[in-house]
Structure 1
Amino acid sequence: MSSKNTSRRKFLKNTTIATAATALLPDLLFAKNSFLQSAATAPSEKVNLACIGIGNRGQQIIEEFAKTGLANIVALCDVDMGAPQTQKIMGQFPQAKRFQDFRQMFDKMGNEIEAVCIGTPDFSHFPITMMAMALGKHVYVEKPMARTFNEVELMIKAAEKYNKVVTQMGNQGHSEGNYFQFKAWTEAGIIKDVNKIVAHMNSARRWHGWDTNIKAFPAAESTPSTLDWDIWQMQTFGHDYNKDFVNGQWRCWYDFGMGALGDWGAHILDTAHEFLDLGLPTEVKPLKLTGHNDFFYPTSTTLSYKFPKRGKKPKVEVLWYDGVDNLPPIPKGYGVQGLDPNIPPPSTGDIKGPKLNPGKIIYSKDLIFKGGSHGSTLSIIPEEKAKAMAAQLPQVPKSPSNHFKNFLLSCKGQEKTRSPFAVAGPLSQVFCLGVIAQWTGDKIKFDREKKIITNNKKANELLVGPPPRKGWEQYYKI
């Protein structure tokens, strides 16, 4: 029997066992997971971490985990272990076992792995995460959680089921200054009665300059000899290899990535979404889609999200702007528009074009706040208002751990993750709905309770997307 089939059989067997344990032995639920967690609680011990997706952004994630001093890198897995982008990290961890297929990795050394970090393309987060959780492995996965609304929903449900598994989405600013400031200012009543948020990311993107009159996917090219193209595609439908699908280019395409919104939204809207209890919207409307086509993202997008009242909190409109020619309106007293050196540049390099921070402007009944992305903190504008309120502002605690350390300490039972799937999932689904509006070009009306799109059959089908190809169906069963 092939290793792939063995992996599938083992996955299904473990899932069946877990289901039986839920029904028959509630006091012993997921005993294996409990053992792993208790075994890792000693402060002197490191977490055995397997890393899946090790080139480009994946390399940076692994290096950040290594810096904490709490991770023992036991395995490195990538679909192209012979590519230039994977060589450096393998040289840094020569003792780690190497794999090209994550299923074989779990088959051969599952008992040696306590946690995984996933730095693969957006569309491939889902099957790796689902298999890891079912096998009792703690999961750190880059943002956004997954490409489709339904995949994120299943990941949320899996995290509830495998409730001893620690989860964290990689929106790293959710463990930095903005997180603690937004929380403190909300609790102190400084941020209240918010009715509009303008979020913006106006840097040039990879697909800018492409021909928007595209009628088909790019032509097939010769697949690099070191790349397993079949595994790279995972559960998606078949595509021929092309260089514009790999090494970050996947972000351009609806079939693989989530564009500028999925890339930067979680670094800009995460704290507002959590601490204002936004949940899911009732409507998403495209206001501008420059260069709209059926294959890759527009060169400029403006979206309007409508969020309903939540208890005593008023309705909120969230406006998203991307594209170099699509700057949002700037309120009087905004102040300096220059770039914030604390905001990481896009993966394509330095921020170019409009000199405006990726960030947000938050409008409340009485105040306006200016903010950046990631961990950048908010300012009250205009400056005169900020000075007048300085004495009223609460003290903001410092972060006890960055996002990577927070995850590992949570694996050891010493902290709780700040971006678990219960928090990061609905945020990711907000972006999934925005992508559907971009893709279809239509306004969508969304039922928050039933979690369906009520006015557009095609858009509603995109919540789930096409069925997984043969051999990958198992990951969609909980």
Structure 2
Amino acid sequence: MKKNDFSRRSFLKKTIIASSAAAISPSLLLAGTNILKSSKIIGANGKVNLACCGIGNRGAEIIEALYATGLANIVALCDVDMEAPHTAKILGKFPDVPRFKDFRKMFDKMANQIDAVSIGVPDHSHFPITMMAMSLGKHVYVEKPLARTFHECELLIKAAKKYPNVVTQMGNQGHSEANYFQFKAWKEAGIIKDVTAITAHMNSPRRWHGWDTKITSLPSNGNIPDTLDWDLWLASSQPHKFDKDFINGQWRCWYDFGLGALGDWGAHIIDTAHEFLELGLPYEINPVKLDGYNKFFFPQASTIAFKFPERKGMPALDITWYDGINNLPPIPNGYGVSGLDPNIPPPSTGKLEPVKLNPGKIIYSKDLTFKGGSHGSILSIIPEEKAKDMASILPEVPKSPSNHFKNFLLACKGEEKTRSPFEISGPLSQVFSLGVLTQRLNTKIVFDRKKNTITNSKIANQLLMGPPPRKGWEQYYKV
């Protein structure tokens, strides 16, 4: 049987037999219904039985963080490059756990033993794994950005509504740390109000910096590693010839597979402002600057302006995104030192290199200016003199009751609600998808927020959905 036939038949089979499987597995959601028969105490010893898709690089870090909470049993490991060097650490840590290359086979064999799934794979393959897991009633922790295309994010938002008892969490881990609780408290207390502009910046070196920007076709160099199932790595993407610069983190460089610096770091920098200022989707996105533009991989530097309308008594707001080593934003008087939060995890390529301006944001309101970093870094009022004047009226900020990983697992057990569910992280990820379309086409985008359409470019509007899934993967794109 061909793999594509397997994909289609497997998914349909799961849909048909879900009701009988539910009798075996208390945590199994009846596919096509909104009924979840589950207990707050799930898995052995009250732990969540967790299957892990993507076990190397960032996927490995996610597994370790979830396991470190003491709330998870690791019951299955899945990776298309199983037993490659970057999977060795997790395989050594969980030597007796069943292993799979194909997530569909994992669900076929072990659905009744799985409560939740961690998904730490390339951006382009988040979607089908997540959709299949949700249809089977499995709670999902998905690394950011939520999916590669606007349409995929939209379908995941709809799926979360269809399956309301499935717990969802996107992996922007700072959304459970100090910045989240501070922004919420300061917004509710009226300290953060009347925001009209935000500068978001990430000026560290990226993998594609220095590449030849004059290439006219995708590369296809090197031999497929013996450990890698290239067809499965592509997932629902259209066929591509293998290239060594598509795998092991390099996928982030290419429009066909990733969302570049914006999708990678935007979720750690813009997330709290997007949620608590209720930004939703922009109505216009402009490519102010794209240095080293190329149709296949991301620019050497980008400045992208997002325009958001008035909302619930809040003024219209612009977010301007800056990436590129020397593409620094304007800095206000009294900014002070650009600090780097020591809690920011290093990239898979190693440590964050010293840069002229560390990743972060500057928030401009009618009366105040705020300086912030990335991930869980807290905001400060600038200049320092103004901060001292206001110190006595600033509200107390509660401490986080759980980090992002513990929050997810406690939510699976019915004890907390996730802080970055798809209803929140989905629209945030769609903002990144729109920004990437602006980069990819090097054109202004006018977006109809009510109809979710791009009105000034037929090509851009088609790319909201992206290319059709290849044969055998179509079933995941139906909710």
Q: TM-score range by the shorter chain?
A: over 0.9
The correspondence of residues 139-158 of structure 1 with structure 2, limited to 5 A, is 139-158=140-159
Larger CA deviation: 8-17 vs 163-172: 8-17
CA contact (8 A) 1:339 1:355 kept: no
CA shift in 2, pair 1:211/1:199, >3 Å: same
Letter in 2 for 1:174: H
CA contact (8 A) 1:303 1:320 kept: yes
Letter in 2 for 1:9: R
Which residue number corresponds to residue 131 of structure 2?
Answer: 130
The whole-number CA distance in structure 1 between the counterparts of 2:10 and 2:235 is 18
SS of match in other structure, 1:321: strand
The whole-number CA distance in structure 1 between the counterparts of 2:39 and 2:449 is 35
CA contact (8 A) 1:33 1:165 kept: no
SS of match in other structure, 1:96: coil
Letter in 1 for 2:8: R
For structure 2, list consecutive stretches of 5 or more residues without a partner in the other structure.
20-28
Letter in 2 for 1:11: F
Q: Residue deviations 1:132-153, cap 9 Å, x none?
A: 0001100000000000000000
Instruction: Give 1:241 shift.
Output: 1.1
Q: Residue deviations 1:89-135, cap 9 Å, x none?
A: 01101121100000000000110000000000000000000000001
The correspondence of residues 256-295 of structure 1 with structure 2, limited to 5 A, is 256-295=257-296
Instruction: Give 1:344 shift.
Output: 2.9
CA shift in 2, pair 1:163/1:179, >3 Å: same
Which residue number corresponds to residue 429 of structure 1?
Answer: 430
Which residue number corresponds to residue 48 of structure 2?
Answer: 47
SS of match in other structure, 1:445: strand
The correspondence of residues 40-439 of structure 1 with structure 2, limited to 5 A, is 40=42, 44-352=45-353, 354-439=355-440
The whole-number CA distance in structure 1 between the counterparts of 2:136 and 2:114 is 10
For structure 1, list consecutive stretches of 5 or more residues without a partner in the other structure.
20-27
CA shift in 2, pair 1:33/1:72, >3 Å: farther
Instruction: Give 1:41 shift.
Output: 8.9
CA shift in 2, pair 1:318/1:32, >3 Å: closer
1:36 to 35, 38, 62: 38
Q: Residue deviations 1:232-277, cap 9 Å, x none?
A: 0011111111110000000000000000000000000000000000
Larger CA deviation: 271-280 vs 334-343: 334-343
CA contact (8 A) 2:40 2:414 kept: yes
Instruction: Give 1:338 shift.
Output: 4.1
Which residue number corresponds to residue 9 of structure 1?
Answer: 9
CA contact (8 A) 2:42 2:49 kept: no
Instruction: Give 1:311 shift.
Output: 1.6
Larger CA deviation: 216-225 vs 158-167: 216-225
The whole-number CA distance in structure 2 between the counterparts of 1:29 and 1:119 is 25
The whole-number CA distance in structure 2 between the counterparts of 1:7 and 1:439 is 31
What is the root-mean-square deviation in Å for CA atoms of aligned residues? 1.8
The whole-number CA distance in structure 1 between the counterparts of 2:259 and 2:175 is 20
Identity %: 70
Instruction: Give 1:9 shift.
Output: 2.9
SS of match in other structure, 2:36: helix
Instruction: Give 1:3 shift.
Output: 7.7
Instruction: Give 1:226 shift.
Output: 1.1
SS of match in other structure, 2:38: helix
Instruction: Give 1:378 shift.
Output: 0.3
Letter in 1 for 2:226: S
Instruction: Give 1:222 shift.
Output: 1.1
SS of match in other structure, 1:35: coil
The whole-number CA distance in structure 1 between the counterparts of 2:415 and 2:47 is 13
The whole-number CA distance in structure 1 between the counterparts of 2:4 and 2:77 is 18
Larger CA deviation: 186-195 vs 342-351: 342-351
CA shift in 2, pair 1:251/1:316, >3 Å: same
Which residue number corresponds to residue 23 of structure 1?
Answer: none
Matched, 1:442 2:443: yes
SS of match in other structure, 1:407: helix
Q: Residue deviations 1:393-442, cap 9 Å, x none?
A: 00000000000000000000000000000000000000000000000000
CA contact (8 A) 2:221 2:244 kept: no
Instruction: Give 1:6 shift.
Output: 5.2
Letter in 1 for 2:12: L
CA contact (8 A) 1:184 1:396 kept: yes
Under a length normalisation based on structure 1, what TM-score does the superposition of the two structures give?
0.95
SS of match in other structure, 2:446: strand
SS of match in other structure, 1:463: helix
CA contact (8 A) 2:34 2:164 kept: no
Instruction: Give 1:2 shift.
Output: 6.6
Instruction: Give 1:37 shift.
Output: 4.0
Letter in 2 for 1:94: P
Instruction: Give 1:163 shift.
Output: 1.0
The whole-number CA distance in structure 2 between the counterparts of 1:5 and 1:110 is 20
CA contact (8 A) 1:37 1:411 kept: no
The whole-number CA distance in structure 2 between the counterparts of 1:197 and 1:88 is 40
The whole-number CA distance in structure 2 between the counterparts of 1:6 and 1:240 is 22
The whole-number CA distance in structure 2 between the counterparts of 1:41 and 1:215 is 52
The whole-number CA distance in structure 2 between the counterparts of 1:323 and 1:7 is 40
Letter in 2 for 1:261: L
SS of match in other structure, 2:74: strand
The whole-number CA distance in structure 1 between the counterparts of 2:177 and 2:363 is 19
The whole-number CA distance in structure 1 between the counterparts of 2:389 and 2:382 is 11
